[in-house]
Amino acid sequence: MILRRLSARHLRSILRPFFAAGWTADDVLHGLDHRPDGSAWTLTSDPSYVPGWIRYRLAPWTSAGLPARSPSQARAERRAAAAAAALQARQRRAAAMSTRAADPAAAAAAARAQLAASSPSALAAMQLRQARKARQVRRTAAAAATTQQREHGLLTSATEPEEVFQREVLDRHALPHTSETSPREPCLPLDDPAAVAAQRAWLVQMTAGRRKDGGGNR
């Protein structure tokens, strides 16, 4: 209602610098009702001199005597900045996904480094996890070495020559002589094939004699 007290020609003359700077009619109305910080003007009474009132209300929207950005221009710039930031974020995500696909290990290491740099608690947690993992690796290696040693010992016992095993059995569990005429074990060199054959024959005789005596005592 206040602006209607001026003619259209007079109003255009006062607002010409703003329209030349890209202001719209809505921008002018917003500038007359609000300060640049968004606070609203209060109107206690109708102004007596409308041109001075217009210049006073729009003065905060000028810089060095020239109109500053209009409210619509500021909104457009904010929208453009938000769109550019969103585009950059999408590009970064796409690049990160491409890096993870090409080298997952490097991407994981970079993520851990970034997390450790931004959070001391996360760094402490990762260090604790690495220490536990190192202890587990050492325990696994020690268990594998022990198992290998045991398997090596069993393999050595399993592949021991039969002659040696028989001699050890006879030495540890000497078969009792069933009679005074039982043949004695030949005392021949242990590395001689004839000695091995003689020992086999003696073992067969000892076993056969034991079975015979055992049957006679029944």
- Kindly report, residue by residue over 56-107, the tens digit of the pLDDT: 999 999 998 899 999 999 999 999 999 999 999 999 888 878 776 767 777 7
Mean pLDDT across the chain: 80
Which of 211, 210, 202, 205 has its CA nearest to residue 163? 202
Neighbours of 61 (CB within 10 A): 22
Residue 160 predicted with pLDDT over 70: no
Is residue 180 very low, low, confident or very high in pLDDT (cuts 50, 70, 90)?
Answer: very low
Q: How far apart are CA 12 and CA 14, in angstroms?
A: 5
| Domain boundaries defined on the chain | 3-68, 71-127, 162-216
From its phi and psi, is residue 177 left (phi > 0), alpha (psi between -120 and 50) or beta? beta
The better pLDDT of the pair 18, 99 is held by 18
